[in-house]
Amino acid sequence: MNKLLATLIAGFFASSAMAQAPAAAPAAPAAPAVVKAEAKADKAVAAAVKSEAKVDAKADAKVEKAVAKSADKKAEAKADAAETKAKAVAKAGKADAEDKTKAVAKAEKTSAKADEKEGKAVVKADAKADVVKINAAADKAVAKTETTAVKAEAKADVKAATTK
């Protein structure tokens, strides 16, 4: 939300600075085509900045959601592994004296498998969160590029209008 607010404020100041630039040089009155081009450019830039802020906010929300989901999955995997280990140890503890060694070995094997399963779940959860982070960064970069293109296009349109 802070990024969105900062972007909107920056866009406002940029728009107001562009709007004040012709007023600073009253040497020649601006042609109607130039005024119209500047107004159109300001409107396009403001829309592009707003769109970029919206994309940034959505991307950040997706990342937060993915990180939270990843943390939940990791916690669930850890709890499942702990439960499996506890059951295996309890079962080994109930075994007869003759079967104790065999039961303890089986419990250790079960614990190792539970650790492996937990490790895989953690890696998968982290990988999914990383993919979402990468996609969000790409979305932000695309939005920034589009905004830059709109700004350049607007500047070119105003420049073309001054030469008419």
**How far is 13 from 47, CA to CA, in rounded Å?**
14
- Note the pLDDT of residue 16: 55
Mean pLDDT of 23-47: 76
Weakest mean pLDDT among 27-41, 100-114, 146-160? 27-41
- pLDDT reading at 154 higher than 70: yes
Q: b/e per residue, 109-128, with b = 16+ CB within 10 A?
A: ebbeebeeebeebbeebeee
Burial of 152 (0-12, 13-18, 19+ CB in 10 A): exposed
Q: What is the mean pLDDT of the chain?
A: 87
**pTM score of the predicted model:** 0.68
Among 25-34, 71-80, 86-95, the range with the most confident prediction by mean pLDDT is 71-80
Say whether pLDDT at 25 is over 80.
Answer: no
**Would the CA dihedral through 19, 21, 26, 28 be positive or negative?**
negative
For the ranges 6-15, 85-94, 146-155, the lowest mean pLDDT is seen at 6-15
Residue 19 has pLDDT above 70, yes or no: no
Number of domains in the chain: 1
- On the question of pLDDT at 134 being above 70, the answer is yes
What is the reported pLDDT for 96? 87
Query: Which structural domain range is residue 148 located in?
Result: 2-163
Of 15-24, 53-62, 134-143, the least confident = 15-24
Confidence of residue 27 (pLDDT cuts 50, 70, 90): very low
Q: Which residue matches tokens 């669930």?
A: 76
Asked if residues 143 and 57 have their Cβ atoms less than 8 Å apart, the reply is no
